[in-house]
Amino acid sequence: MMSIRAHFDGRVIVPDEPVTIARNANLLVWVESEPASKAAIDQAIQNYYLGMSSVEQRADDAWESLRPADQKQAWDED
């Protein structure tokens, strides 16, 4: 799983930083729009990862290493 910062330009969602996602990859996107500062978002992300157990961290690392097609298959099996 990954999270990225982005903005909506009135037509499409545009990442605010470079992302490494395969072209035409199928994605499941959650959009959370609230007036939060960059520092608050950074802190929330840090808290999420710091709060992960070692089992959750290994699962997250394993998920990240999968190809997009394998991620889709694994997601569909859940």
Burial 6-21 (b: 16+ CB within 10 A, else e): eeeeeeeeeeeeeeee
pTM: 0.40
Residue 7: what are its φ and ψ, rounded to 5°?
Answer: -135, 160
pLDDT tens, residue order, the chain (78 aa): 788 888 888 889 999 988 888 889 898 888 877 666 778 888 888 888 888 899 988 888 887 787 777 777 766 665
